[in-house]
Amino acid sequence: MSYQKNCPHEWKQPAPFIPNWVRETPKPNVCPQPIPPVTPNPVFPNTAALQMCNPLQIEKIDSCSVLITISVPAESIIHLPTKALEIKTIKKDFKLTQNHFFNSAPTPPGISSDTPKLFIGGLVRKDIQYSEAVHQTPTTVAGVIKDFVVDIPISCVIDLGRHLQFSPIHYDQQREYGFTESSTKDPLQSKAEFNLLSEQFYNRMPTCQLVFCQINETDNALDCIPLYGGPSKEYTFTTLQEKMVILIQLRLTFPTPIDYKNPHCNPDNESERENNHCYDKDSKHNRKNKSPNSNALFSKINTLLTKLTCIIKGPHLVALLLCK
């Protein structure tokens, strides 16, 4: 192998010259970076406090379901991607995205209990069709129709009040227990012993279904500017301020029967309490009061027996009238 070192036709290539600016240039990433989506509409900030919605009406439709009607006000700022000359039409669709029921938790003595709450969230999908000017003269404007879709989130908390009585929540428990030490048992073993009893309940959540939705809205342009080269009364804009009042009706169905107490009833009023106006017909309070009064029934039976005795004693009409 020594003859290869002195080989006259052996060719060696020197290392290529690499400038310093090339050495200092960072290497590009092999995987292409994803392009972030461009949205002209600002992201709604997450806040810790939610608006409280008092229901307009709560109606019990069966033993396990209630209809809840609420009104939710909302406001948003919408940025169109191009300059709009006129809004042609807006198609709206409300979608219920989340619902969660919170029953009132027990409180210590002396502290008033809270009312049940229903958290809801949804999206108003708006399909905005508008015209964009592409050519204008002092007397005419030519344009094209464009389409822009935006989702506007809404959320609120519904206060269900105190006239709906739901089944209580069963709470999980863990309890430790032990045994007395015996003389034959090692005291070190008794200290290392740990006994635990765990109980876990699986409470069922109610289901929420969207029954009806009505959206009343108004849209105002905030940045109107005259159309350059167009008629004098034509304007373009890109920013809309939208105000909405959303009327929503929900059907809340529970796995167990519920009691409904009339909110306009005074339970201290004896006449209303006796006529069962405070609770619905399926309430357990009315089921208790459906048993007939024994004194009234005995009085009616006694009256009928007296009339029968008068008829049996003689056919005289006068005696029959006197028995009345």
Q: What is the pLDDT of residue 290?
A: 45
pLDDT at 171 exceeding the cut of 80: yes
Instruction: Supply the pTM of this predicted model.
Output: 0.63
| Cα-based distances in Å from 210 to 55, 63, 143, 213, 251 | 15, 19, 40, 8, 6
The sign of the CA dihedral 253, 256, 262, 266 is negative
Helix/strand/coil for 176:
strand
How big is the chain by its Cα radius of gyration, in Å? 40
Buried b / exposed e across 222-250, counting CB within 10 Å, b at 16+? eeeeebeebeeebebbbebebebebebbb
Q: Which of 56-65, 132-141, 184-193, 231-240 has the lowest mean pLDDT?
A: 184-193
Q: Predicted confidence band at 291 (pLDDT cuts at 50, 70, 90)?
A: very low
Q: What is the pLDDT of residue 256?
A: 86
Buried b / exposed e across 100-117, counting CB within 10 Å, b at 16+? ebebeeeeeeeeeeeebb
Q: What is the pLDDT of residue 243?
A: 92
How confident is the model over 61-72, as pLDDT tens digits? 888 899 999 999
Q: Residue 51 and residue 74: Cα distance in Å, rounded? A: 11
How confident is the model over 113-132, as pLDDT tens digits? 888 899 999 999 999 999 99
